[in-house]
Amino acid sequence: MYNKTKLKNGLRIITVPDRNTQAITVLVLAKVGSKYEKKEINGISHFLEHMLFKGTKKRPTALSIAETLDMVGGSYNAFTSEEYTGYFAKVEKSRFDLALDWVSDIYLNSFLPEKELKKEKRVIIEEINMYLDNPMIYVQNLWKKLLYGDQPAGWDVAGTKKAVKEMSRKKLLDYRKSFYTSQNTLICVSGNFNEKEAIKKVKQSFSKIKKGRAVKKVAVIEKQSVPKRLIYFKKTDQTHLCLGVRAYNAFHPQKYALQILANILGGMMSSRLFVEIREKLGLAYYVSAQLDIDPDTGSLIIIAGIDNKKADKAIIAILKEFKKISEKKVSSIELKKAKDFIKGKMALSLETSDALASFYSGQQLLTGEILTTKEIFKEIDKVSEEDILSVTKDIFKPENLNLALIGPFKEKKQKERFDNLLKEF
């Protein structure tokens, strides 16, 4: 299914061969994201990701970088999260050398030109504005802020406008020097390729990577003794909310039970909350449950968009489902449905080379180990009705509740109303 190779300089390579595809993906991950940042440079991981597309000696402009893979119909992009930053290229299998050269070139050789820095500041500020104008997305940023406050885990990945405006080339160069090192980098090649040749070529392409140790992030402080609420005032036609609880991190033994619980609550169209909130009560177009599981933090969140006048009713209905599932065991039929849904979705989602690259490299980078789908399915099958009940009793407590919402709520009475709903749980 996969193989791991570790070079003398600490660089890690994961190969995932698949002869049943015509594609190949090269993914490079740096173990650094917003959780590794300091307040004055919040957003620098994301800013650096943008700047790596602005020019190298071999490809001196953003246009030449883009055209390299556009000319062969390749897919390419980059992304930044709280935990890592990634760069990838996906091409037809005969273009492997080109994809590897492209990814290694931008990762190792980008100039970070000063003139592009000034322009990119405006671009990123517009990206931040875009999120602010999209309450369905921005409410999830508020959720992190509500849970973790003024520490890296609670900051926006894109950073603040102030920090973006004050970003300098020196800051970016110093940051890259600290984090884009051999021991902090993982490369995954997935798709149709010769494994021995691929490892040799990756080793050659990244031979000049700076040696350096992996850098640790600051510990996340989690402290909560009462229900918490955060309201972002905005004149909207719909209230967008995140309602949920602190839960388990990626190393917790009950993380699979938590995953199944989230699915039962709001992971599919026949889930409890979808049926109750949308089908029976007609309160929302979208309502779902999602998990946020990192190596050091975790939460279970219900996200929904509700008529402003019906926000109270929706919150009450969600809390009712929390209480209901924590008082009575789920049926064996409902449990089996959730397990089969998760396994089926996972199997279907891993049909492509880029999905496989993310699946294997993400596990390795975040937890230090890799489980195959077969091994994960085995863990899922172990979860019992008693496990689900145990998890619900552990996480669904009044002092564990959090509510973040965006809507036209400004008056003190309106805010107190939401506080009272949480306290009544």
302 lies in a domain? yes
Same domain, yes or no: 241 and 109: no
Secondary element (H or E) of residue 345: helix 332-349
11 lies in a domain? yes
pLDDT per position as a tens digit, 303-332: 999 999 999 999 999 999 999 999 999 999
CA distances from 191 to 2, 24, 33, 97, 212 (A): 11, 4, 27, 13, 29
Same domain, yes or no: 321 and 190: no
Same domain, yes or no: 250 and 344: yes
Domain boundaries, position 38: 3-205
Rounded-to-integer distance, Cα 263 and Cα 280, Å = 19
Same domain, yes or no: 247 and 160: no
Q: For the residues 393-411, what does the mean pLDDT come to?
A: 95
Same domain, yes or no: 129 and 167: yes
> Catalytic annotation on 49?
yes
123 lies in a domain? yes
Identify the CATH number of the domain in which residue 274 sits: 3.30.830.10
Same domain, yes or no: 188 and 260: no
Please tell me the predicted confidence (pLDDT) of residue 411. Answer: 81
Q: For the residues 12-39, what does the mean pLDDT come to?
A: 97
* pTM to 2 decimal places: 0.95
221 lies in a domain? no
211 lies in a domain? no
What is the total count of domains within the chain? 2
Residue in 37, 40, 49, 321 annotated catalytic:
49
Token reading at 148: 């973790």
Q: What is the mean pLDDT of the chain?
A: 96
Same domain, yes or no: 174 and 292: no
Strands (E), 261-333: 284-293, 298-307
Pick the closest to residue 65 from 94, 106, 113 (CA basis).
Answer: 106
pLDDT per position as a tens digit, 82-130: 999 999 999 999 999 999 999 999 999 999 999 999 999 999 999 999 9
Q: State the maximum Cα–Cα separation within the chain, in Å, rounded to a whole number.
A: 67
Same domain, yes or no: 242 and 369: yes
Same domain, yes or no: 291 and 376: yes
Domain boundary, last residue among 205, 239, 255: 205
Same domain, yes or no: 140 and 257: no
214 lies in a domain? no
pLDDT at 5 over 80: yes
Domain boundary, last residue among 205, 239, 266: 205
212 lies in a domain? no
Same domain, yes or no: 113 and 240: no
349 lies in a domain? yes
Same domain, yes or no: 191 and 234: no
pLDDT at 207 over 90: yes
